[in-house]
Chains A and B, each alone.
Chain A
């Protein structure tokens, strides 16, 4: 058992607004986003935060096999590249068998499945089945590519647990790090949408934003002892991960319960980012549970519905706000990032400003 603090030492994001956390910040500062629309076959106009086939010249110059990566994998890979570079973790000597990758996604590799499914059996012969495409038909492709490219040999897992997938990965990562079974983990979420999503998804307006957004949000979460051992400077740390709580029940009850479990007072919280598509709805559900001066945000309004990547992107958004403010979140040391899990579950990741930053 160890009481080591867990630190977020790097973040990276890929969104419709561009590469990097600054692009997330621009979207946050721009008010309600005007998403580009795509036409459906029925003539409907569907807004979507599309990244498309990502071009990341830094990733391409770093990794010779970049061209082989499917689009879904490129999102996670590119976000991980930014986060790893910011953390400086790759500069350290020695093996990487205690550095791993844990990612979440709701829909995974559907695009590659669809691409592979073009094969035909004609005249007694199988035609059009591509081995190169087939290797992308696995939900764990982004985590695999990240591990291969940077030789990250530690724990590696991919959760396909719906909208809470990225925070499911963070919950799991917290356990591995606190048990000292890893010293640093690349953690976050990835999502890629194809026309199938636009045409056939069932919408649940109570939980999902109306605008799908694809991309990735990733953080490097590291044990403080390992960070200091490699000569890390606490002034450069993004924040501390106090912990991830999972609760069932209504938000108004779940949030105070989660904070209590983590030993954090509501009065010390300056930002609550909830995975709701509407701030009005948020206020009616949560407003009475929160003291004044807590900023309650529904970033899906500005960023879109990332489904399984949401937890990772929302984490980046919260950390962007901290970086921009320079003094906690609205002057307070804690922020909460929420995602809905499967069923009646809620995830809450709680961040704390690191003194000395």
Chain B
């Protein structure tokens, strides 16, 4: 099967979400995570993986319900569980290989925690002798290994791609997956991301002063940093035609995606949020929609002073007319529940947005008391709404100055299978 072939992405190919899989600090299962969100509770707890006292103590969103298995890469453990749920939810059969099934995953550091031993052993000569065990660790450390692992597990013999863009990795993986479907490279794609909690990344965020002292407070005046989490989040996406043909349960449609660069600084966002604004406008254009079509914003909301301020600047310009009329779409930041899952963050936001659209419930931001803008930040518990809730915008930003935006919508009644 040859694809690509100088084609323009076919915007008449519609792409829908037909299955979900998720492991996070909330537990195993998308519905478990969605329950925690709706109850307005947080999965953040004191760090368990290592002694965090030397760091001044801090929280993490670890999947504490899963024992760490010695000799097994944590990130693959998370991926396997999410994949099992996804297969069942999508009604997919992985028993026979499918050359039309693709896998696109995002991750920031993959199997970094397992690689720490070889980092240190191979820093300076004399080095230890090579061995199957060490070569195995190095092989799993390769950023694309998780994608290969999942493809084998799912019998996916179609396109495989991995996105390495830190906190936008998995939202860009969804956008790339949509591209594969629109251009005919696959009929089904598993898109998402994964990240295991690690001392390595924790130490990095600690040394740049980005960790919160006692809570992650997105869009709150008292916000002082982020909390790192872990998880694997997968979405089954396929062409609408294929989904209908097989009578699939359709959660939502992915109607638009956009990516951009701040081109401002490697680690600090453009304080004016111009890069994020470009990504959102590109996603809206891709969806043939305008700002007034957006009913809910699932923001990146890391809880850092700079990120949340930047996002508000961008939203303020994009939705200026609506804000002026007091019709700013409701906003929430889910990292207050799950922590910042880095390479899984974009897919996590997309997955929860999909469930919000399905149930007509706006997800709340936990630990949110003093909003930094006079907008509708959803607080407390999930808010059942009578207002229109058909289109969600999910945004993410990353080190390196990357931004991404996804537009998701419910299918009009009767459009589903």
- A residues engaging B (CB < 8 A)? 1-2, 40-42, 96-97, 100-101, 105-108, 110, 113-114, 116-119, 121, 124-126, 129-131, 134-135, 137-141, 143-145, 147-148, 150-162, 168, 171-172, 174-175, 178-179, 181, 194-196, 199-202, 242-248, 254, 257-258, 260-263, 341-345
Contact = CB atoms under 8 A, between A and B. Distances in A.
Contact of B278 (A137, A145, A153): A153
A263 B6 CA distance: 9
Interface string B304-335: 00000000000000000000000000000000
Interface in B267-313: 267, 274-275, 278, 282, 286
Contacts of A195: 122, 125, 127
Contacts of B119: 113-114, 117, 196
Interface string B134-171: 11011101111001100100001111111111100000
B261 A153 contact: yes
Nearest to B199: A121
A243 B3 CA distance: 10
Given A126-B203, A140-B166, A243-B7, 16 more contacts: A113-B115, A114-B119, A117-B116, A129-B206, A135-B266, A138-B398, A152-B261, A155-B261, A156-B402, A158-B165, A158-B400, A161-B162, A171-B4, A243-B5, A262-B5, A343-B160
Contact of B263 (A41, A96, A181, A194): A96
Contact of A345 (B108, B138, B159, B260): B159
Contact of B144 (A110, A118, A342): A342
Contacts of B55: 126
Contacts of B356: none
A174 B122 CA distance: 40
A139 B204 contact: no
A343 B262 CA distance: 34
Contact of B179 (A114, A175, A262): A175
B8 A179 contact: yes
Interface string B105-127: 00011001001101110110111
Contacts of B70: none
B62 to A, nearest CB: 18
Interface in B185-212: 185, 200, 203-204, 206-208
10 contacts: A117-B119, A129-B206, A134-B208, A138-B108, A159-B163, A175-B8, A175-B9, A195-B122, A243-B5, A257-B1
B56 to A, nearest CB: 9
Contact of A243 (B4, B128, B204): B4
A160 B203 contact: no
Q: Which of A118, A143, A153, A258 has the most CB of B within 10 A?
A: A153
Contacts of B120: 117-118
Interface of B: 1-9, 11, 51, 53-55, 99, 108-109, 112, 115-116, 118-120, 122-123, 125-130, 134-135, 137-139, 141-144, 147-148, 151, 156-166, 172, 176, 179, 183, 185, 200, 203-204, 206-208, 259-267, 274-275, 278, 282, 286, 398-402
A153 B260 contact: yes
B8 A178 contact: yes
Contacts of A101: 261
Nearest to A345: B159
Nearest to B281: A97
A108 to B, nearest CB: 6
Contact of A156 (B11, B144, B260, B399): B260
Given A195-B127, A201-B138, A242-B6, A160 B162 contact: yes
A354 to B, nearest CB: 15
B261 A147 contact: yes
* 7 closest residue pairs by CB, A with B: A243-B6, A139-B164, A144-B400, A261-B5, A160-B143, A160-B164, A156-B261
A137 B144 contact: no
Contact of A261 (B4, B127, B402): B4
B261 A154 contact: yes
